[in-house]
Amino acid sequence: MPAKRFPLSKAPFLRLADDSRYRSETIMRNFTIALVPLILFAWVKNGLLPFISNDPVVKTTFIEMIYPLLLVFIGALTSLLAEAFYLSAFMGKKTMKDLKSELKLSFPMIPGILIAMVVPIYTPIWVVVLGCLFATLIVKMLFGGFGHNLFNPAIVGYIFIGTAFTGVITASGGYLNSAEAVVSSVTPLQNFASNPGGTFEQLVGSYGDLWNFFLGTIPGSMAETSSLLIVVSFVFLLVTKVINWRIPVLYVGSVFVLTLVIGLAQGHGLWYPLFQVMSGGLLFGAVFMATEPVTSPKSPSGKVIFALSLGIFTVLFRLVGVFPEGVATSILLLNCFTPMIDRFASKLRAQGLTKKTWSKFAFLTLFFLLLSVYTIVASINKANPASESAAVVEVLE
């Protein structure tokens, strides 16, 4: 009898991924599940509440009620179809079986869902479709498909829509749902951009108080206003080990610390950094966009560098630059540096703090410090042009 042959393989012979709970598919599925509460909140806030309202001015039609859900559905569908088209037309996945197994592993719907969640409420469907097509075909597939894209498709798609179709979006209702359009006229960050030195009453008071910011009943993009639900989703993602705590916590933390200093220098209290953290897309971006694994650094120390830079750039763009947001732009900017950060951080991590590497550590720290100081000084100046020199002295002290 010939000797029995055994199959060959590579160590280790125990893998977490043997269990489907730890596989990539499950990770991406859990990521999508974490988005569901936010989508439902967007629907309740922008669709259901105006629909059941008794106020005839606010009252909307049925189509307008389901519009938020429709937008997410269309976004997901567009991305899926675009990717399927690209795979079959240009990457040789002709048969249905090939296409199916490929799509199962490339998670095609996520960019579409994310774009639909961050656009303003009455964005026309064709604009979202264009954004999703741009994100999937150009940002994701042209770079080589899932795992090879340099930029976060959803972020680029969003910026594409935002820059190319601002007029269209504003004309069709913009950031305010029908109820909000009656009550207030702008989002908190637009308000802030026109009045950077504003007081509590001017910045927060016109939207109620900070609780409204926390619960999400303020004007803003479709699904990113509720800080509470984003924190809940964040905890879910942490518990299911989909994302690592480093990027969201350090990103939001650095924004908080920087704006705290800026606020204190202007004589504002704790409300100022909380207002900055909870308005706009910061929390949503930090939890769902900046953590996108393919386009964020892989090494733990790289994640730290990435998150701190994001925080500083967001404050810089938001408080000093002309755009009211700053989140998407800074993520896009840092995406360019991800491969570099990874190289740099993994070398530092492997070698540790030695005589050879301390200069790199020192350089990095100095860079962050200088950039933070500049951000602080510049934003105080912008907020309070009159007391320019006084603010500088205060910071330096």
Partner 1 sequence: MLLRKSSGIHIPGRKDMSIGSPIEEFLNPEYVYISLLTQNYVCKPLVKIGDKVLMGQPIAKREDRFSHPLHSSVSGEVTAIKKMWHSTGKMVEMIEIKNDFLNKADSSIRLNTDLDALTKETIIERIQNAGIVGMGGGGFPSHAKYTQNYQIDAIIINAAECEPYITADYMLIKTETERLMRGCSYMMKASGAPKGFIAIKKTKLAAIEALQAIIENHPRISIFLLDDVYPAGWEKYIVERIMKKTYLCIPLEVGAIVNNVQTAIAIADAVEENMPLIHKVVTVTGEGVANPHNFLVKIGTKANDLIAKCGGYVNPEVEQYFIAGGPMTGTTMIFDELIITNALSSIIVKPKIDISVNPICIGCGKCAEVCPAFLTPTEIKRAFEDKDIQYLLDLGATNCVGCGLCSYVCPSRIELTDATTRGRALALKG
Contacts to partner 1 by CB under 8 A:
3-18, 22-28, 101, 105-106, 146-147, 244, 293-301, 303-304, 342-343, 345-353, 361
Alpha-carbon distances, residue 164 vs 127, 193, 324 (angstroms)? 10, 21, 16
Reading the block at residue 37, the tokens are 């509460």
User: Looking at beta carbons only, is 61 or 351 nearer to partner 1?
Assistant: 351
Helix (H, G, I), strand (E, B) or coil at 353: coil
User: Looking at beta carbons only, is 28 or 129 nearer to partner 1?
Assistant: 28
User: Looking at beta carbons only, is 367 or 374 nearer to partner 1?
Assistant: 367
H runs (alpha helix) in 122-245: 125-133, 153-164, 166-171, 178-183, 188-194, 200-203, 210-215, 227-239
Minimum distance, C-beta of residue 22 to partner 1, in the bound complex (Å): 6
Which residue type sits at 235?
V
Reading the block at residue 142, the tokens are 């042209």
User: Looking at beta carbons only, is 136 or 259 nearer to partner 1?
Assistant: 136
Minimum distance, C-beta of residue 242 to partner 1, in the bound complex (Å): 8
Minimum distance, C-beta of residue 104 to partner 1, in the bound complex (Å): 8
68: closest CA among 83, 82, 51, 55? Answer: 51
User: Looking at beta carbons only, is 31 or 41 nearer to partner 1?
Assistant: 31
Minimum distance, C-beta of residue 65 to partner 1, in the bound complex (Å): 36
Alpha-carbon distances, residue 262 vs 309, 314, 316, 391 (angstroms)? 17, 14, 11, 10
Minimum distance, C-beta of residue 26 to partner 1, in the bound complex (Å): 8
User: Looking at beta carbons only, is 17 or 171 nearer to partner 1?
Assistant: 17
For the chain, the farthest-separated pair of C-alpha atoms sits apart, in whole angstroms, at: 96
Minimum distance, C-beta of residue 153 to partner 1, in the bound complex (Å): 14
Angle at 234 between CA 307 and CA 128, to 5 degrees: 85
User: Looking at beta carbons only, is 41 or 344 nearer to partner 1?
Assistant: 344
147-156 burial string, b = 16+ CB within 10 Å, else e?
A: eebebbbbbb
Minimum distance, C-beta of residue 308 to partner 1, in the bound complex (Å): 11
